[in-house]
Amino acid sequence: MISVRSEREIDLLREANQIVAKVHDALQAMVAPGITTAELDAVAEDIILSSDAKPAFKGYHGFPASTCISVDEEIVHGIPGNRKLQSGEIVSIDVGVAYRGYYGDAAVSWPCGEIDAERQALLEATDMALSEAIKAAAAGNVLQDIGRAVELVCLPKGYGIVRDFVGHGIGTAMHEEPQIPNYDDGRKGPRLKAGMVFAIEPMINLGTEKFRVLEDDWTAVTLDGKPSAHFEHSVVVREGGGEILSGSKVHSWGQRKAS
């Protein structure tokens, strides 16, 4: 059963997601060689708590931090710690909050210092994949259209589309139905209705889609050690396409126009 949210609920989801956007803006300004991922996480937690929200990831199945920060070959679920960022790396930051009973969730990958051309292209393609997937989150489409939109951008470039982690419905819980694969799983899936709210989150690898999980039981890293990117927005299904709830006023990820 996929929830259809009232405009009042969508307003609350937007408020929750705007706290997430505020965190991303603050962390982007701090991403630089030498900073540790734990330092970024501490700032995120401060902002979330001072916004009268709770960090949704902290304690989730025992996750120990307020954000997931995944560096370069790390795909998702990186635990903030004493890893120092280096110039040339991709830094993927995922933030979730609970606010007045509603959840916000968004992720973005930033370049640290100067990155090479293949990493830059990966960031642009993953952002474009999110943008196209958001357009596909239109009332009357089917769920399959979202995964197909990601594939259309990423498969021609030979990138690995991560299959074992997927997007999800979001509302009064962080993870609600449906699961939203970033590929065409061969099933149309449910028809999309205006007012459904989804966290859409392509995770795209420069090389193989295969991954392994580190001994910390959380961090997913690419099997070939090549970099990965992750962009996510919480989006409400509307006529004509998705409306982004987690959009930043400073940064416009997920809103890339096809060139």
Q: Which residues bind Mg ion (CB under 5 A)?
A: 105, 199
For residues 166 and 183, give the distance between their C-alpha atoms in angstroms, rounded to a whole number: 9
What is 16-85 written as a DSSP string?
Answer: HHHHHHHHHHHHHTT--TT-BHHHHHHHHHHHHHHTT-EESSTTGGG--SSEEEEETTEEE-PPPSSPBP
Q: Closer to Mg ion at the Cβ: 72 or 105?
A: 105
Cβ proximity to Mg ion, 90 vs 107, nearer residue:
107
Instruction: State the nearest-atom distance from the C-beta of 84 to Mg ion, in Å.
Output: 26
The distance of closest approach from Cβ of residue 114 to Mg ion in the complex, given in angstroms and rounded to an integer, is 29
Q: Which is nearer to Mg ion, 90 or 199 (CB)?
A: 199
Shortest distance in whole angstroms from residue 205 CB to Mg ion: 18
Secondary structure letter of residue 192 according to DSSP: P
Q: Which is nearer to Mg ion, 168 or 226 (CB)?
A: 168
Q: How far is the CB of 199 from Mg ion (least distance, A)?
A: 4
- In the bound state with Mg ion, the residue whose beta carbon lies nearer, of 28 and 179, is 179
* Residue nearest Mg ion (C-beta atom): 199
**β-strands 228-230, 220-222 pairing:** unpaired
Q: Which is nearer to Mg ion, 11 or 60 (CB)?
A: 60
Tokens for 174? 């962080």
Give the shortest CB-233-to-Mg ion separation in angstroms.
Answer: 10
Q: How many CB atoms lie within 10 A of CB 12?
A: 19
Distances (CA, A) of 84 to 35, 71, 100, 162, 173: 5, 10, 34, 26, 33
> Is 162:209 a contact under the CB 8 Å cutoff?
yes
CB of 94 to Mg ion, least distance (A): 7
Burial class of residue 48 (count of CB atoms within 10 Å of its CB; 0-12, 13-18, 19+):
buried
Distance CA 184, CA 210 (A): 17
